[in-house]
Chain A
């Protein structure tokens, strides 16, 4: 049989997209190129809470540049976000939805210059933008810079830009030392410039881990010079470089869910897109993991309200999904929460590794996801009341944490059950060894979880949605 020509053909052959994704052979979602640990992941996690860190985000995200007189028109048509008051040198968390009002993805959109923007994030949103730019009647040009390969096999890796974040309670001291003096106040998600070494670099005011920080970027060839300068300036402030093992776990404390399942598998209105999407796209090859099993792929979709993006939804413009969202805007929504896992139950999972016989699904530390999208069932008194969507360990909280959603009536503080592992010994995903399931007790907790983030992150977009 000839290879499928596009994503739609892949889906047709698969019969049920749920089975296809749950048995994907692609392996774990890789955070490529960056060394797994610079020091050790415990100390690296502790550094973003106690001192300062350098995140190297140069490799794991797709960049798509959108340029032309219709750039804003196109992006506004795809986003739940308002584009009023979005001048050059601003950024926003861009969230596109399907016609049915379900999230396709999200990421950061930078307004670089007049009529020139770049979106940075996972593939589904970049693909969706590219599709509309190429097939719609917009005066735009796009340039896609794919993420670095998961396995470069020793060959050189090239990106258009490097992308670093300096974060943590001492971040601002590091930044001012680099700049050779005070940095003029930049508001959250506003862009400015700072000096690093001999270079003037662009910077986005950020605050990923609960304290003011910056994201800086520039030509990829400058990356080592910039990195060396940051590491040298950071030394006296305890700055640590964060490796790929610890990196993705920072969101467990700040509360962003990186991996909603893109709502593109169903709906006739999305068919044209599915035919356009290649057969080897993220959407066609990605993995779906966990104990939540439904025959209907739509049961894995989430709305922007459910994953904390309600404040971004603005009906001040026409956009795909608007009609559907208008209908549900005032209804109760499932809510985004953090699950704090019961230590004794986690202990039981590890203990099973040291006994003969069937063990529980291995919990890899510190990041425990075993596919590009995770859905573990959350139950209360035997009834499914939510899903856990991103799991790992926080050394700062000395706890396994996961991010997910629960029904509107579930209160913070409720003890629920998270079913860890897959049914019947596990699916065929290559990341899944034969195992048995365990019911893990978990406390429904706020987002962001960390006390520091909860108390000092008030101006952040993840809590107020000002971006």
Chain B
């Protein structure tokens, strides 16, 4: 059991910030790692990336968008409520080294896990450039936080309502043409990470991506999260979740992510019908 100490709506209508009491996890957790939660006895186990780690206050933070049944159930929880099962920290941490210049690329609400990564790279003496993109300015999150840690924050929006009009990859290419980078790291939807990896390839910049396949146990036991990297099968939960973006078989990953689309949709629709009152609040 873990208590929700703080909950905030950080992007209307469905992206929430949660601060959770987890003294043991926060003590050990490193940037790039994730936790698995289960909300109730009938619930599923879902992996969530760490959006912040605070060992001094014994907390971890998660940013969750209510996109399906479990995440919507989570959004119905309030401060003071308990999360039935919280397991972690899982996965390998981001390799933090002093490299020179590190560009962190995030799309939509997927930018959040890069926040502890940005802090760690900065603390290790790197120049940190953050490129964050969204369809429109009202969908951007975590901008003040990144402004605080990064040397530079570049914003892109598809509709041009903030920053540069275009995609994160447009900004990334411009940046790589102008300045040297020693590492690019991308977190977000698979298709975006694939584009980032394609964009950096001609520049020969090492590119790390954080993969988000379907998981069950998160300890390597089930193999459900297997991904193909450099022609080899790897388990994202134990070997990853970070891999070399230039070596990932993206087609297989995206196909596997669609495995339960129908069941997920049915389950969410049923839940919405039953819980319309929660959604109306």
Say if A and B assemble together: no
List B residues at the A interface (Cβ < 8 Å): none
List A residues at the B interface (Cβ < 8 Å): none
